[in-house]
Structure 1
Amino acid sequence: MSSPVLLVLGAGPNVGLAVARKFAKQGYKVALAARNPNDEVSKAADLVLKADFSDPSAVVSTFDKVKEKLGIPTVVVYNAYSVHLTPEDPFSISVTDFNTDMVVNTTSAFAAAQEATRGFDQLPADASKTFIFTGNNLNIPGRRLLVATSSGTGKSATAHFIANAASANLSKGYKYYYADERTPEGETVKFDNSGDAHGEFYYDLAQDPKQGAWLATFVKGKGYVDFSATDRGY
């Protein structure tokens, strides 16, 4: 029996690296794709690819190369992001920069979920078939952050299609998640996100044979925590 394959798109030195190491320890073949993968990230993978996800076609070519070298990905993590800051005025960035952020944060994520799903169609029944998007709480109505207008817009749009994908594919056993690390109080961790916590939680999502809550809010050391009641207060 061949080893399952993990593909991380947007593999950086924190979340991407930790997720790769966790899955590798569990017997997965690991493919990592990033615009400029560093040496540490490269050492954690069986296959390393350079890819710029401001061009959605890079998603398709990445999947093609992974299938050729390692096989069809059973778990796909979309960890790429782009943001042009808007500290005082949401319209202070150009349409070009806004579009770049939307492509990386939403359009290429959509392409990745689409390619992952096409691969899931070809996998055996007992394969994990899991797609995970690394998000934050900016998809929650009321959780506004002026400085990250374009990023929040993209997160909200991506959360929408992931929710639809999770609902539409329940009978097939395909799983889709928008993952969001929180503090124990339900607040954003901002820049203090834990790569190791992501690795542990993402592996748990992959191992669960059933779709859990698509809005996968989690806390380091606890795993999934439902913050929907408090989020509704915003």
Structure 2
Amino acid sequence: MSSPVLLAFGAGPNVGLALARNFAKHGYKVALAARNPNPDVSKAADLVVEADFSVPDAVVSTFAKVKETLGIPSVVVYNAYSWHPSPDHPFSISVSDFNTDMVVNTTSAFAAAQEAMKSFAQLPADASKTFIYTGNIFNIPGRLILPGTSLGAGKSATAHIIANAASTNPSNGYKFYYADERTPDGEPVMRGISGEAHGEFYYELARNSKQGPWLATFVKGKGYVDFSAKDRV
């Protein structure tokens, strides 16, 4: 039996590297795609693809290269993001920068999920068939920060897409998650993101054969924690 394949978009030295190492430890072949691949990250992967996700077509070409080189991905992680801060007021960034952020944070993520669906249809019934989008708390109404206009818009739009996908695909075994690392009290981790926690939690999502809560809020050392009551406040 051939090894399963992980494809991660947006592979940096924190989350991307941890994903590569953890999934490889569990027998996966690892493909990482990034605009400027980090040397340490590259060493941890079986295949590295240079790609700019401000161009959605780069997602399609990345899938084609991975399929040709390693095989069909059974786990796809979209970890890429773009953010042009709006420090003065919500409309203090240019339309061009806003559009770039929306393309990277949403349009290319949509393209990745679409290509993942096509890939999953070619896999055997017992394959993982898991799509994970690395989100944050910005999709929760009222939890935005002023400089995060474009980032919050992109995360919110993609959260909507993931929620719809998760509700319509359980019968075919496809799983979709919006993953959001939190502190133990449910606050955003901000710059305290744990690559190790992402690697461990994402593998657990992939390993579970059933769709769990699409809004996959998790805490380092604990895994999934339901913060829905707190987020409604």
Category of TM-score, reference length = shorter chain = over 0.9
Alpha-carbon distance, 1:38 to partner:
1.4
The match for 2:9 is: 9
The match for 1:84 is: 84
Alpha-carbon distance, 1:18 to partner:
0.3
The match for 2:168 is: 168
Q: Which amino acid aligns with 2:3?
A: S
Secondary structure, in 3 states, of the residue corresponding to 1:144? Answer: coil
Alpha-carbon distance, 1:105 to partner:
0.2
The match for 2:154 is: 154
- Whole-angstrom distance in 2 between the partners of 1:133 and 1:56: 16
- TM value normalised by structure 2: 0.99
Spell out, residue by residue over 1:7-41, the C-alpha distance to the aligned partner (whole angstroms, 9 max, x if none): 00000010011011000000000000000001101
Spell out, residue by residue over 1:136-163, the C-alpha distance to the aligned partner (whole angstroms, 9 max, x if none): 0000011111111100000000000000
- Whole-angstrom distance in 1 between the partners of 2:114 and 2:165: 10
The match for 1:54 is: 54
The match for 2:217 is: 217
Alpha-carbon distance, 1:174 to partner:
0.4
Q: How much is the aligned-residue C-alpha RMSD, in angstroms?
A: 0.4
Where structure 2 has 5 or more consecutive residues not aligned to the other structure, the ranges are none
Secondary structure, in 3 states, of the residue corresponding to 2:184? Answer: coil
Secondary structure, in 3 states, of the residue corresponding to 2:192? Answer: coil
- Whole-angstrom distance in 2 between the partners of 1:142 and 1:117: 32
Alignment of 1:181-220 (within 5 A): 181-220=181-220
- Whole-angstrom distance in 2 between the partners of 1:87 and 1:13: 27
Alpha-carbon distance, 1:88 to partner:
1.5
- TM value normalised by structure 1: 0.99
Spell out, residue by residue over 1:180-208, the C-alpha distance to the aligned partner (whole angstroms, 9 max, x if none): 00000000000101000000000000000
The match for 2:107 is: 107
Check if 1:137 corresponds to 2:118.
Answer: no
Q: Which amino acid aligns with 1:63?
A: F
Q: Which amino acid aligns with 2:222?
A: K
Q: How many residues align?
A: 233
The match for 1:121 is: 121
The match for 1:29 is: 29
- Whole-angstrom distance in 2 between the partners of 1:80 and 1:145: 20
Q: Which amino acid aligns with 1:134?
A: T
Secondary structure, in 3 states, of the residue corresponding to 1:191? Answer: helix
Alignment of 1:36-75 (within 5 A): 36-75=36-75
- Whole-angstrom distance in 1 between the partners of 2:141 and 2:118: 31
The match for 1:227 is: 227
Q: Which amino acid aligns with 2:26?
A: Q
The match for 1:20 is: 20
Q: Which amino acid aligns with 1:62?
A: T
Secondary structure, in 3 states, of the residue corresponding to 1:184? Answer: coil
Spell out, residue by residue over 1:80-129, the C-alpha distance to the aligned partner (whole angstroms, 9 max, x if none): 00000111111111101000000000000000000001000010000000
